[in-house]
Amino acid sequence: MIYSVVPGFFVQDTPGFDGHTADTTADDFGLLDKSPSGWAKLSASLDSLNSQAPSGTSYKLLWCARHAQGFHNMAEAKYGTPLWESHWAKLTTDGELVWGPDPNLSPTGEAQVERAHQAWKALLAKGTGVPLPRSLYCSPMRRAARTLTVTWRDILLGPAGLQPKFMDGIRETVGVHTCDMRSPKSVLGAEYPDFVFEDGFEEEDLQWSAEKRETHADVDVRVRKALDKIFSTDASTVISITAHDGVLRSILATLSHQPVFMPVAGVIPVLVKSSMDE
């Protein structure tokens, strides 16, 4: 698949945008059209683009969300990134914090994602017509699943709601760091019974190794395969992906989007054009 960003809708897509420090989450997610009908106009444009698209080309609004603060984030902040990378990330605990394997959200993270949930409800209450996802994809790490669950509680999730899908291809960088070793499939299924698993999802984490960690290039390849799978098999025009800092950087790079700072619990929408390789 060939991907590109459709410009003209979000400030983070514009030349000169400082994507290293700006956080557009609280500013209507960076929507350029601040009129009351701004989101409705975007939805209409998305429908129009797809209706006029040639065979093999489609347009999707992609909501990219980073998980809220986990216990591993607390530990990295406690010791600093150099010590975290060289020593502590390889362990599971310092006797005070436990961050591996597969840590959940910290109390701060729970508060962050609850604020995100309330922000979504407030935005919807305004009747802005903001386009909601019709498909939810999630990293198979508990911190991501918890973030997704709280964010979309009683909005998209519920007895007749959507079923989020766990995808191994959008998990955090694999190897060495114990926080990035996922839980068994049966544990995830018991904790998140409303989620489904992609085909071929293994019971145990066969990818994680204590000796070898993926490179940025490895993650880029894996993420592209995951995006290709989503875009080629899912007819939904509005999609959400809840994942991690490294994965989201790879997603934006794959989409030819300029780098954008993603704080914990941050969200960035991207209007994407995809077409089949010639």
Annotated catalytic, 214?
no
Annotated catalytic, 67?
yes
C-alpha distances (whole Å) from 107 to each of 104, 149, 152, 212, 223 are 10, 15, 19, 31, 29
Strand order in the sheet with 135-138: 2-5, 267-275, 57-66, 238-243, 135-138, 165-166, 196-197
Residue partners of 215: CB distance under 8 A and separation at least 6: none
- Residues 67, 72, 117, 244: which is the catalytic one? 67
- Residues 172, 177, 214, 257: which is the catalytic one? 172
State the catalytic residues.
Answer: 67, 172
